[in-house]
Every structure is written in structure tokens, then in C-alpha cells.
């Protein structure tokens, strides 16, 4: 039997070793292991270094767009040509799968439209894009999304969302409730990281870790404000490992509140240095401001890494991949209030009483979050889409969750 051929198209501006790229490579590697023929087609800006991987083809485009609308148009035109070339290389039993980062190119290319292509097109969505572009105060992308987003969705053959909330939103945006769709949360290559050695919680200090490309919707300002109100023992120290647009604001906030000695900015770190930081910290922090994106659920990559490494964490939203009573996640209010540090300390004491919690979390990740689990579901969906499988995975029409425009 001929394998289903998939080209996974990504326009990527992320650090080569960050969580998004680990996700993409994990998906592609596991789908190939499951006997799909998957190639990742990566379009990146400039000379970013990517290690050599099987099933990876890289196209580089010049950094021509910075600060210049005509540069943006030229950039999107170059991406459009690569996008069209990729679609034209696929046949009727093949699939173009792409992670949606916005309405690129500027206009829907002819090769993307039904009737002008042979392959199926599947789009994976991570967010409610209009709300996200509004959050980031990005008027260009917002208006492109407003004007072109519906057409791009309607021309697709299927939609993937990482939460039910996002899937419903995208199907409603496409105004096509019969469109095949699937909700599949993000995964993680569980065996790619060690299980952490949990430090003793002696009551003198509590170390909290956030690993992220730090953005406003991570809500770390809420945690910093909470730390500033706690002046007793134990001393609470926040470690932030990562780059991001929000760092300068958080550094200023910590300084203004007089707690710069309690907020440590490590920058982007990986490998053994990151392993050591996990071993130093008692708990971690997930997204505390996802409501700023108009969401109530998340499928955040860092939460999967936290679980795989065995570090309990706090979060201010739901995550459908975990039961509501999962003992190693503390759910906080989804609002703008400072984090209640006494609640965090009680959580840390409770977790510290169970020395086996890292191994228990790791086992949960193996059984529920590993790419070997996630991609079996996606494989069945893609095979069915091109008539080579059963109807496993394809979901019935979702109730509408209309996007807000304007």
C-alpha cells in the first residue's frame, strides 16, 4: 500500500531550539515512525541555524521586511511562491498540512484554492487569531486576518485545533459546520528530557521556574506583583528562562516593586544548564494570562515539558489533556489579580510531602502526552481524509463559537 504523503509547511521565526520547533520536529518524526511519508518544509528568515534532521527541507528568505511595507509585500510574495511550489508537488492522495501563524501570503494564492490543486489542505490552529493580533497591537496582521482569514479557512479541507474552544471558533469562522475537523492537544517527546531531581522544600526559600518565550499572555506580571507583597519567610524567588517581548517590562516591574533580587532572568538556556535549573526549582509556572487572548483553555507546550520532567506547576486556565483534579497542577483565578503567594506555598508544601511526584508526573506524560500517543490520532484522521482509513478521529460538526470582529 502506498503511504500517505504529507508536506508540513511552516513559516518559522522561532529560535531553532525552542519549544515550538521541538514540537514540529516531534510531530514529523513520530508521523514518519507511524508509516506516513512526512516532510517538513520550513521557511525561515535570514541565516538562523537549524541542525540537520531527516525529513526536513529548509527555504531561507531575506530579512527584507523590517520597518517597510514594501518589504513585507516582497517577503509574503517569496513565501507565496514557495507555498505554491509545495502544493503543486502534491497529488490527489497527498496532504499539505500547515501551522497557521496568520493570513500569509497577503492574498490567497491560486494554488491554494479548491479546483486548482489536487492535494488536500489541512490547517492547524493554536489560537483565536483575531484576538491574538489585537492583543499584540499588530494592526497589519489584524486587518489581513479580518479580510482574508475566512477565505483561507473555507478553502481548506480540514481544520485542526489544539483545544475544543479553538476548534469551535475556527469552524464558526469558516462558516462551514460540515468541514472535517479534529481537536488534538499538543504533545511532547517525553523521553527527550530527564526526570528532575526534586529539591527538598526546607521552608527557607521557594524557587519557582518559568520556561517560555515570554509574552504578555503568560501573565508573569501577576506573579511578580504577588511576590512583591510577600516579605516574610520563605523567600520566594522566580526564575525566568527564555527570551521574549515581555522581558523588558517584567525587568522594569520587578525593579519598580523593589524585588529585583527575587526575580532572576536567565535568558534562553537549554541542555544541561536548563536541566540544572529544573533540579533547583520546587514548582513551575504556566500561563497566568491566557484570558488576555480571549481563551479559557490552553494546550501549552511548557506544561507538557513540566509534566514530562516531573515538576508541579500553577496555571490560570483549563487544559483538556489533564483531569480537573490532577494533583500536580494548581489552578488560579483567570483574572488580573496578583497571585496569592500563601496559596502557592501551601501547594508547594503539599507536593513536597510526596517524594515520588516527579516519577508519577512522568508516567502520566508517557501515557497521555507523548507524541506516540498524539500522532496515532492524527494519522487516522489524515488517512481518512484521503480515503485510506476509517472515520476514526473525524469529529462531527461543533456548536458555533463565533469570532468577534472589529
- Per-10-residue mean pLDDT, the chain, length 406: 85 66 86 93 74 81 66 80 90 92 68 81 92 80 87 92 95 94 94 95 91 93 97 94 94 97 95 96 96 91 96 96 95 97 95 94 97 94 85 46 40
- Given strand 94-99, what is the order of strands in its sheet? 56-61, 37-45, 5-12, 94-99, 120-125, 158-161, 181-183
Domain 5-187+371-385, classified CATH 3.40.50.2000, yes or no: yes
Pick the CATH number of 190-367 from 3.30.450.20, 3.40.50.300, 3.40.50.2300, 3.40.50.2000: 3.40.50.2000
What was the pLDDT predicted at 391? 52
| Cβ neighbourhood burial of 325 (10 Å; 0-12, 13-18, 19+) | exposed
Q: Which residue has the cell 494554488?
A: 111
pTM: 0.86
What integer pLDDT is reported at residue 357 of this predicted model? 97
From CA 69, how far away is CA 14, in angstroms rounded? 22
| Residue extents of the structural domains in the chain | 5-187+371-385, 190-367
| The two domains 5-187+371-385 and 190-367 share their CATH topology (first three levels equal) | yes
Return the pLDDT at 406: 37
Residue 79 has a pLDDT of 84
Please tell me the distance from the alpha carbon of residue 4 to that of residue 387, in angstroms, as a whole number. 10
pLDDT of residue 42: 87
Site of grid cell 510531530: 27
CA atoms of 13 and 276, how far apart (whole Å):
27
CA dihedral 377, 168, 318, 328 (to 10 degrees): 0
Write down the pLDDT at residue 142. Answer: 87
Amino acid at each position: 500500500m502506498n503511504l500517505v504523503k504529507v508536506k508540513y509547511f511552516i513559516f518559522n521565526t522561532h529560535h531553532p531550539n525552542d519549544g515550538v520547533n521541538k514540537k514540529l520536529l516531534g510531530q514529523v518524526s513520530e508521523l514518519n515512525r507511524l508509516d506516513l511519508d512526512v516532510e517538513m518544509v520550513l521557511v525561515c528568515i535570514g541565516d538562523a541555524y537549524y541542525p540537520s534532521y531527516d525529513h526536513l527541507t529548509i527555504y531561507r528568505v531575506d530579512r527584507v521586511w523590517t520597518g517597510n511595507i514594501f518589504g513585507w509585500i516582497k517577503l509574503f510574495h517569496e513565501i507565496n511562491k514557495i507555498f505554491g511550489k509545495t502544493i503543486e508537488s502534491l497529488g490527489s492522495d497527498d496532504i499539505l498540512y500547515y501551522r497557521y501563524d496568520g493570513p500569509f501570503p497577503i492574498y490567497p494564492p491560486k494554488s491554494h484554492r479548491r479546483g486548482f490543486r489536487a492535494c488536500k489542505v489541512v490547517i492547524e490552529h493554536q489560537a483565536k487569531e483575531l484576538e491574538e493580533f489585537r492583543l499584540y497591537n499588530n494592526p497589519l496582521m489584524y486587518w489581513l486576518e479580518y479580510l482574508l482569514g475566512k477565505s483561507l479557512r473555507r478553502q481548506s479541507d480540514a481544520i485542526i485545533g489544539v483545544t475544543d474552544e479553538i476548534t469551535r471558533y475556527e469552524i464558526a469562522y469558516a462558516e462551514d459546520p460540515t468541514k472535517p475537523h479534529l481537536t488534538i492537544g499538543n504533545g511532547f517527546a517525553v523521553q527527550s528530557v530527564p526526570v528532575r531531581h526534586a529539591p527538598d522544600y526546607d521552608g527557607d526559600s521557594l524557587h519557582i521556574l518559568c520556561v517560555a518565550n515570554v509574552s504578555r499572555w503568560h501573565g508573569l506580571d501577576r506573579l511578580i506583583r504577588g511576590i512583591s507583597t510577600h516579605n516574610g519567610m520563605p523567600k520566594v524567588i522566580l526564575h525566568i528562562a527564555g527570551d521574549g517581548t515581555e522581558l523588558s517590562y517584567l525587568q522594569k516591574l520587578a525593579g519598580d516593586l523593589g524585588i529585583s533580587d527575587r526575580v532572576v532572568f536567565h535568558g534562553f538556556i537549554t541542555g544541561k544548564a536548563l536541566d540544572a535549573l529544573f533540579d533547583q526549582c520546587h514548582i513551575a509556572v504556566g500561563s497566568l494570562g491566557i484570558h488576555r487572548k480571549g481563551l479559557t483553555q490552553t494546550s501549552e507546550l511548557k506544561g507538557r515539558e513540566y509534566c514530562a520532567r516531573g515538576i508541579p506547576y500553577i496555571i490560570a486556565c483549563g487544559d483538556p489533556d489533564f483531569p480537573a483534579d490532577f494533583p500536580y497542577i494548581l489552578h488560579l483565578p483567570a483574572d488580573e489579580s496578583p497571585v496569592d503567594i500563601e496559596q502557592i506555598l501551601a501547594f508547594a508544601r503539599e507536593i513536597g510531602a510526596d517524594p515520588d511526584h516527579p516519577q508519577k508526573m512522568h508516567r502520566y506524560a508517557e501515557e497521555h502526552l507523548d507524541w506516540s500517543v498524539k500522532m496515532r490520532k492524527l494519522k487516522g484522521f489524515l488517512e481518512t481524509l484521503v480515503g485510506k482509513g476509517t472515520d476514526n478521529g473525524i469529529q462531527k460538526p461543533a456548536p458555533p463559537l463565533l469570532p468577534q470582529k472589529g
